[in-house]
Chains A and B, each alone.
Chain A
Amino acid sequence: MTVSSPRRVLSGTGAILMAPVALVARLLDPPLSALQRVGGTNGMAAFFLLPNMAVFGIFVLLPLVINIIYSMTGGTALFLADRTFVGAAQYQRLFDCRSYVDPKSCTEDLFWTAVWNTAGFVVVQVVFMVVVALVTALVLNRDLRARSFWRAVFFFPVLLSPVVVGLIWRWILQRQGLLNFGLYELGLTPVNWLVERNWAFAAAVGVSIWAHVGFYALILLAGLQAIPKDLYEAAEMDGTRPARVFWRITLPLLAPNLLVVLVLVLIRAVQIFDEVYVLTGGGPGTATLYLTQYIYEVGFASFLRNPGLASAASILMGAVLIVLTLFQLGIARRNEMRGKR
């Protein structure tokens, strides 16, 4: 790798600003050239990939392996060295149930409560998120006035920190929050939104959709805009009703994007934590207790902490996510192959 000749960038203010960069480049040239002579171009590739691989290895792979080891230990000590090896005991404990469908019949009833809660949440949220994102994208695709403004408005919540999102909606939905205040002023009976089981669930779903739908709508919007306009004109000439245009033309051509969005939402939904934890804390009771919160509480927040059990639960959750990710990779590859044809 040789550095481009500094002569090319020398002109006016550009030269002054680029001078230190050019100097550094010139200084780096000899050692890097020497390295290339030794390692060849493949060697250079490895040299530049090494830092990132190291970071990935240390901060992703290593903790993953350590986590698996943790899941096979017991005790309350935090350090691996102080823990006792118990084999699959933690997993046995998690799976110790008379009936998997009834959390109350399980030893770790909170784990299974969290599992079924998360399953219910995932199903509902995925359906609604995809539908809302699709509708939003369809609306944003039209020739509205101030279209860019509306797109920014829908995307804005995506930029917010999840804690902020949870807090805002808690202030709106709590017993003495904005919504009840509005209802009271209108003469309607206020509802304790975050304390009624079903409303709390709806709030969890609704808030997380509000916070992220802009992102998925944007993906679908890009897909919609990739559909050639003359297809719609041809359909118009063909006398096609709007509903049929949507079902027979828009939707099939949007299918690859929809699939991507579906899998992304799915993977995200399984890991739901931040907004819900701030919004309801897992309540009322354990109505909105989801897997990630369970793992956090067992591993860190309760007395006494049980890192082994938490690790086991997180490994199980990770297994589900790996399956979903492989599914997503498969789809991505299929889209790629389709594109090449």
Chain B
Amino acid sequence: MSRITLTDVSRAYGQVKVLHDINLDIQDGELIVFVGPSGCGKSTLLRLIAGLDRPTGGTITINGQDVTRVAAADRGLAMVFQSYALYPHMSVRQNLAFGLENARMPKPEIEQRIAEAARMLEIEPYLDRRPGQLSGGQRQRVAIGRAIVRNPTAFLLDEPLSNLDAELRISTRAELAALHERLSATMIYVTHDQIEAMTLADRIVVLRAGRIEQVGTPLDLYNKPANLFVAGFIGAPRMNFLPVAVFPGGRGATIGIRPQHLRRATDGEPTLKAKVTLIEQLGSETVVHGDADGHRLLAVLPGQQGLKTGEEVALAYGQENLHVFDENGLRTD
């Protein structure tokens, strides 16, 4: 059992408030992702949950127990740091054993846990090497291993993939997903990359400037973004935003439509007319940059379109794919 609840949690440094009234309920066994731009407070929130930092307001409970004032070591959580934080002067085996020795676990049990984690993460050949002798990906697995051997209530991962190259990132992502399946453990994952969020998360928490913008499953966020920010954050390329006065009384509004939901118009459909400014050919699809009445527009069209810059193109869309946001940027339907 590992339910983590945050109630009115806030963190301020003097006058500067970094987190405002965070309320969140993390379910047992879910992989929840905190995502947002730099400085949104996601890492701070993670550290508050870990116990490395104390909130200036609010409470944190784990399985019903208030742990707001409890030391990090006693919360039963394990953290995987962005820089891995492996002890450079100890071997991998000693790194894994360190935390367990602190708990005065008997040697045989320590050995067993290390062996199991090593097998799971395929780091058996490296157990006697030093972190300095490992590659980035291997180090990352050791960092995860160090968390696994502790059998924690929940795993906290702070941007674990950001130090890896693109290809390794994709494979490691899959491994993390598999690991989550296997361990059925609660994982709180922090990242700035919305693709990682979309692919890994059971639920996503979108943060901006210390506030939660929206919490929901990936598809929820994709299909029904609650505001302009979330709509523009989730999905790549970014959703197109066009200002339109649609409400009676002439209040301003913004219409959003994803580039993937635009297609070449056939006759008789409502269209958007745009002048092509740039064409990016990816082979399987074409990204068309256009200018519609002074507004920038992107469309992702399937295949190779044979368009040329400067051409006028008519783009069609389905009504169901429109997102409407009022003058405050909030969703209206």
A interface residues with partner B (beta carbon < 8 Å)? 228, 230-231, 233-241, 244, 248-249, 252-253, 341
Interface size, chain B (Cβ < 8 Å) = 25
Report the 6 A-B pairs with minimum CB-CB distance, sorted nearest first. A239-B73, A238-B99, A234-B85, A230-B85, A252-B89, A239-B102
Residues of A within 8 A of B77 (CB): 237
Decide: A253 and B89 in contact? CB cutoff 8 A: yes
Show 7 residue pairs from A and B whose CB-CB distance is below 8 angstroms, ordered by the A residue: A230-B83, A231-B85, A233-B85, A237-B77, A239-B102, A239-B103, A248-B98
Q: How close is A35's CB to chain B, nearest CB, in angstroms? A: 47
Residues of A within 8 A of B102 (CB): 238-241, 244
Residues of B within 8 A of A230 (CB): 81-83, 85
Q: How far is the CA of A238 from the CA of B146 in the complex (A)?
A: 9
Does B221 lie at the interface of the complex (its beta carbon under 8 Å from any beta carbon of A)? no
B interface residues with partner A (beta carbon < 8 Å)? 50-52, 71-74, 77-79, 81-83, 85-89, 98-99, 102-103, 132, 146, 150
Q: How close is A233's CB to chain B, nearest CB, in angstroms? A: 5
Residues of A within 8 A of B98 (CB): 235, 238, 240, 248
Q: How far is the CA of A28 from the CA of B242 in the complex (A)?
A: 69
Excluding A234-B81, A240-B98, A253-B88, 10 further A-B contacts by CB distance (< 8 Å) are A230-B81, A230-B82, A236-B71, A236-B73, A237-B72, A238-B102, A238-B150, A239-B102, A240-B73, A341-B132
Residues of B within 8 A of A248 (CB): 87, 98
Decide: B78 and A237 in contact? CB cutoff 8 A: yes
Residues of A within 8 A of B73 (CB): 236-240
Q: How far is the CA of A238 from the CA of B78 in the complex (A)?
A: 8
Residues of B within 8 A of A244 (CB): 102
Decide: A249 and B87 in contact? CB cutoff 8 A: yes
Question: Which residue of chain A lies nearest to B103 when distances are taken between CB atoms in the complex?
Answer: A239
Decide: B99 and A239 in contact? CB cutoff 8 A: yes
Q: How close is B86's CB to chain A, nearest CB, in angstroms? A: 8
Decide: A228 and B85 in contact? CB cutoff 8 A: yes
Question: Which residue of chain B lies nearest to A249 when distances are taken between CB atoms in the complex?
Answer: B87
Q: How far is the CA of A168 from the CA of B50 in the complex (A)?
A: 53
Question: Which residue of chain B lies nearest to A341 when distances are taken between CB atoms in the complex?
Answer: B132
Q: How far is the CA of A221 from the CA of B41 in the complex (A)?
A: 31
Residues of A within 8 A of B50 (CB): 237
Known: A239-B102, A248-B98, A252-B89. A234 touches B132 (CB 8 A): no
